């Protein structure tokens, strides 16, 4: 028997229903906010992710599904969705249009991580990317929209926010941080030591307990933000307060991807174990330029679908559609023709074997059908059909010609 690869899984029955419910709910809300669907390839040039997610990030340096294709091209299965959407935005020259563009997407992402609960090698994201709006009102709006998605799905969350500054305030802060880290270098873990030289900001995010305690006195960027970043970050907090959305400012929230500036945020759940981030995002005003487009501010997020699968409250499935069956073999074709007609507009479950009444009613129950339509000996002789509405419990016998009215 061939099984799926480690860290990859099939979604069937209950899980696939949950998947569809999550995606359709999120799409419905994203559309209300003016987002339209974008589909980009799963396979991209490796350089795309190196330039956007960042060479020194764990995702690029350790976790890429990277290989040479038969044409000798260095390619990679996308580890996330933003880079591809930005590449598509630039490829289509949308950066040259004055209108603001908003896209949503969902699909598989690939990261060669050590699998554990909530951490897969192939997982799915639902994401939104908004281009052309530099105002912090858009950051607020996108956070609100994500909150609305979780509220609608019945999922509780904690919101963490931070500001990662901009090209004006980040470099001097980085220098200050490197100075601080160099002094405590000996006591930091191996990973942090490496990061001091490659990506010092990521040290703040280290999960090692000793590092965490050493970092409590590290300089904090929010104390060193430039006026514009400081004003925006304060405004974001005021807006969240006004909207009654609770949040926590987490100065160590740096995100695992290098393209962010200004607002960064994460939605976490306490109900799913160690891998508690259910969504993450933020502003990435320089990424379009890094990928050879014209300067275009942008902000977005992605939800990890598998992480919220267990949390989502599924709506009670109400009785719907039709169950049709024959109680004598001669009526089967009549039933099939009837089902074919009705399927033009309705969900129909058809039983191909002629059965007794009780057995059919079990089938009606299993199909969770609203209407049962049965044809027996009498109905066949009279050109009628027996109908029961399972909600009102009303039963009647109708001429076949009137069946469209049910």
Write the DSSP assignment of 27-88 as a string of letters. Answer: HHHHHHTT-EE----SEEEHHHHIIIIITTSHHHHH--EEEE-TTS-EEEE-SSSHHHHHHH
Which CB sits closer to ligand HAM, 269 or 354? 269
Which CB sits closer to ligand HAM, 18 or 342? 18
Examine residue 174 and tell whether it contacts ligand HAM (CB under 6 A).
no
| Residue reference for tokens 């514009």 | 228
The span from the CA of 219 to the CA of 176, in Å, is 7
- Tally the C-alpha atoms within 13 A of residue 29's C-alpha that lie toward its C-beta: 21
Which CB sits closer to ligand HAM, 217 or 270? 270
Segment interacting with ligand HAM, rule: CB under 6 A, options 18-26, 76-84, 232-240, 332-340 = 76-84
Examine residue 102 and tell whether it contacts ligand HAM (CB under 6 A).
no
Residue 262: Cβ within 10 Å count? 26
Which string of x and - marks every residue 280-319 that binds ligand HAM (by CB under 6 A)? xxx-----------------xxx-x-xx------------
Examine residue 278 and tell whether it contacts ligand HAM (CB under 6 A).
yes
Q: How near is the Cβ of 125 to ligand HAM at its closest, in Å?
A: 5
**Please, what is the Cα angle at 207 between 206 and 213, to 5 degrees?**
80
Nearest Cα residue to 83 out of 133, 134, 46, 37: 46
**What is the total count of residues that contact ligand HAM (CB under 6 A)?**
25
Q: How near is the Cβ of 88 to ligand HAM at its closest, in Å?
A: 14
Q: How near is the Cβ of 391 to ligand HAM at its closest, in Å?
A: 39
The span from the CA of 367 to the CA of 140, in Å, is 44
- Whole-number Cα distances in Å, 126 to 25, 36, 123, 305, 373: 11, 13, 10, 7, 40
Q: With beta carbons less than 8 A apart as the criterion, state whether 41 and 84 touch.
A: yes
Which string of x and - marks every residue 212-251 that binds ligand HAM (by CB under 6 A)? ----------------------------------------
Examine residue 376 and tell whether it contacts ligand HAM (CB under 6 A).
no
Nearest Cα residue to 111 out of 252, 257, 276: 257
Pairing mode of beta strands 158-163, 261-268: antiparallel
Nearest Cα residue to 226 out of 284, 165, 174, 172: 165
Which CB sits closer to ligand HAM, 112 or 386? 112
Examine residue 129 and tell whether it contacts ligand HAM (CB under 6 A).
yes
Examine residue 81 and tell whether it contacts ligand HAM (CB under 6 A).
yes
Contacting residues for 172 by C-beta, under 8 A, at least 6 apart: 224
Examine residue 127 and tell whether it contacts ligand HAM (CB under 6 A).
yes
Examine residue 111 and tell whether it contacts ligand HAM (CB under 6 A).
yes
Which string of x and - marks every residue 254-273 that binds ligand HAM (by CB under 6 A)? --xx----------------
Q: How near is the Cβ of 205 to ligand HAM at its closest, in Å?
A: 11
Q: How near is the Cβ of 72 to ligand HAM at its closest, in Å?
A: 28
Examine residue 119 and tell whether it contacts ligand HAM (CB under 6 A).
yes
Examine residue 80 and tell whether it contacts ligand HAM (CB under 6 A).
yes
Q: With beta carbons less than 8 A apart as the criterion, state whether 257 and 238 touch.
A: no
Q: What is the dihedral of CA 219, 220, 224, 225, to 10 degrees?
A: 160
Phi/psi at 348 (5° precision): -130, 135
Q: How near is the Cβ of 401 to ligand HAM at its closest, in Å?
A: 55
Residues in touch with ligand HAM (CB under 6 A): 80-82, 111, 113, 119-120, 123, 125, 127, 129, 256-257, 277-282, 300-302, 304, 306-307
């Amino acid at each position: 028997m061939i099984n799926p690869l480690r860290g990859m899984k099939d979604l069937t029955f209950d899980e696939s229903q949950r998947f569809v419910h999550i995606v359709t709910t999120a799409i419905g809300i994203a559309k209300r906010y003016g987002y339209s669907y974008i589909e980009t390839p799963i396979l991209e040039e490796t350089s795309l992710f190196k330039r956007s997610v960042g060479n020194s990030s764990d995702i690029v340096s350790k976790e890429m599904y990277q290989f040479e294709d038969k044409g000798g091209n260095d390619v990679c299965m996308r580890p996330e969705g933003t880079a591809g959407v930005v590449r598509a935005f630039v490829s289509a020259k949308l950066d040259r249009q004055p209108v603001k563009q908003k896209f949503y997407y969902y699909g598989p992402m690939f990261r060669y991580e050590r699998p554990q609960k909530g951490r897969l090698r192939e997982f799915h994201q639902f994401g939104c990317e908004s281009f052309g709006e530099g105002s912090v009102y858009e950051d607020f709006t996108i956070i609100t929209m994500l909150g609305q998605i979780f509220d609608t799905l019945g999922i509780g969350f904690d919101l963490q926010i931070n500001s990662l500054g901009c090209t004006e305030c980040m470099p001097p802060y980085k220098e200050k941080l490197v100075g601080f880290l160099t002094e405590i270098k000996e006591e930091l873990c191996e990973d942090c030591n490496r990061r001091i030289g490659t990506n010092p900001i990521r040290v703040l995010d280290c999960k090692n307990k000793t590092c965490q305690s050493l970092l409590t006195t590290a300089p904090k960027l929010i104390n060193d933000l430039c006026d514009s970043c400081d004003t925006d970050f304060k405004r974001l907090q005021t807006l969240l307060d006004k909207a009654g959305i609770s949040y926590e400012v987490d100065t160590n929230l740096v995100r695992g991807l290098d393209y962010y500036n200004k607002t960064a945020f994460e939605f976490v759940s306490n109900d799913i174990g160690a891998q508690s981030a259910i969504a993450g995002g933020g502003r990435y005003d320089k990424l379009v330029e890094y990928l050879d487009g014209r300067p275009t501010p942008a902000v977005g997020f992605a939800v990890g679908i598998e992480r919220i699968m267990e949390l989502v409250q599924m709506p009670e499935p109400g009785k719907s559609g039709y169950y049709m069956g024959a109680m004598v073999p001669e009526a089967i074709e009549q039933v099939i023709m009837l089902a074919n007609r009705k399927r033009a507009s309705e969900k129909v479950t058809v039983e191909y074997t002629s059965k007794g009444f009780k057995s059919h009613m079990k089938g009606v129950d299993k199909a969770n059908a609203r209407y049962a339509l049965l044809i027996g000996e009498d109905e066949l002789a009279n050109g009628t059909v027996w109908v029961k509405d399972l909600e009102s419990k009303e039963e009647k016998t109708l001429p076949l010609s009137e069946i469209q009215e049910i």
